[in-house]
Chains A and B, each alone.
Chain A
Amino acid sequence: MNCKEIQELILTDYLDGEIHQGKKGLLESHLASCRDCKEFFVLAQQTTVEPFMKAKKYDRSRAVVWARLQEDIQNEKKDTPECQQEFGLIERWKKIIFFPEPVFVWGVFAVLVVLFFLLSASVKQPYLVNQNQGQDQNQIKQEVLVASKETADQDEYLAYYFNEEDTTDYGTSVEQYFL
């Protein structure tokens, strides 16, 4: 190995104790006979390694951060949907108000169907009946549409909270910074 190769090895594997035994022997015998490389080693060690070895380890923020975490965790628990928690009074009311909506729409639908049959049986003017029928059907269609949309929204909402398993891979985004 020449001096350039020796110095490259010093800057990495030798300073970091990652050098193989065989190479280490070769390198150290070179250092024993080459003043330039020996000086380079001492300077590199003093300048690029020693300050970091004496670096302070900070611990003062340990309690502060822990307290903030506790707060975050409590807040997050409050935000989880009611289906994962005991029902409180407010949640119960929400449930009562929220869930019967589709039931209500289906009820209206049923009443309209009954009304339609009653009307078509009793009213004797066919032209008017047909008109009414058309209107009713349009209304029914719209209401069924609204009802199914609401259930879909609700399903999506629940699926979102139940499907908490997130397999975000931190490696890939780290790579972005380095590639």
Chain B
Amino acid sequence: MTDDIVQQAIQGDERAFESIYREYFGFVFNVAFRIVSKREEAEEICQEVFMTVYRKISAFRQQSSLKTWIYRITINCALKYSQKKSKQIKGVVEYDETNPIAAPMKDIRDRIDEEENEKVIHKLLGHLYLEQRTCIVLRSIQGLSYKEIADTLRIPINTVRSRIKRAREAMLALRREAAPHEL
């Protein structure tokens, strides 16, 4: 993402906005999906995030990077959404079987492994508090550094570290209490 494109988008250029969409869709959608666990909901969040980007980019002051700004909007929307949802319905979200992307070229065994792994992820994330889950998604799925997570969430690095630590302790505890084949 060049500064030129960001500048053009700030001035209202729609093709520049499309470039931003192309660049950040993957992050926004996948983070939203891991936080809310449903494809349809992740799509809604995604839509809201990019509409916010579209509306507010003219006011974007480049004090933080565009990346951090979009990351922050994403987390904000996803958390708001899942808090609203959790007030409506209690309990764990069922694993959404309709989610996986079609991968016709893949070996069937790989696909089964992939499916199994998706279920494991779903179970692990579902076991975590929202703020722990957010940190794990950003760190272990999206590969952000502690510094990047701290900037995105506007919290100290040590807070990021302690959330990740507690999240992993919780996952290990889950592993110990569950039979290995269940996890």
Q: Assess whether A18 is in contact with B101, with CB atoms less than 8 Å apart.
A: no
- Does A164 interact with chain B (Cβ within 8 Å)? yes
CA distance A178 to B160 in the complex (A): 11
Known: A58-B39, A65-B46, A170-B72. A51 touches B117 (CB 8 A): yes
Q: Which of A52, A60, A166, A174 contacts B154 (CB 8 A)?
A: A174
The number of A-B residue pairs with CB atoms under 8 Å apart is 134
CA distance A163 to B64 in the complex (A): 23
Q: Assess whether B146 is in contact with A11, with CB atoms less than 8 Å apart.
A: no
Q: Which of B117, B146, B154 contacts A18 (CB 8 A)?
A: B146
Main secondary structure of the interface of A (DSSP, over half): helix
Q: Indicate the size class of the contact surface on chain A.
A: 35 or more
Min CB distance, B81 to chain A, in Å?
12
Interface residues of B in 73-109 (CB under 8 A from A): 73, 75-76, 79-80, 83, 99-102
In addition to A48-B172, A61-B42, A65-B47, 9 A-B residue pairs with Cβ atoms within 8 Å of each other are A11-B164, A58-B33, A61-B43, A64-B43, A69-B47, A170-B76, A173-B80, A174-B79, A177-B130
Which residues of B pack against A, CB within 8 Å?
14, 21, 25-26, 29-30, 33-34, 39, 42-43, 46-47, 50-51, 54-56, 58-59, 61, 69, 72-73, 75-76, 79-80, 83, 99-102, 114, 117-118, 120-121, 124, 130-131, 136, 139-141, 145-146, 152-155, 159, 161, 164-165, 167-169, 171-172, 175, 183
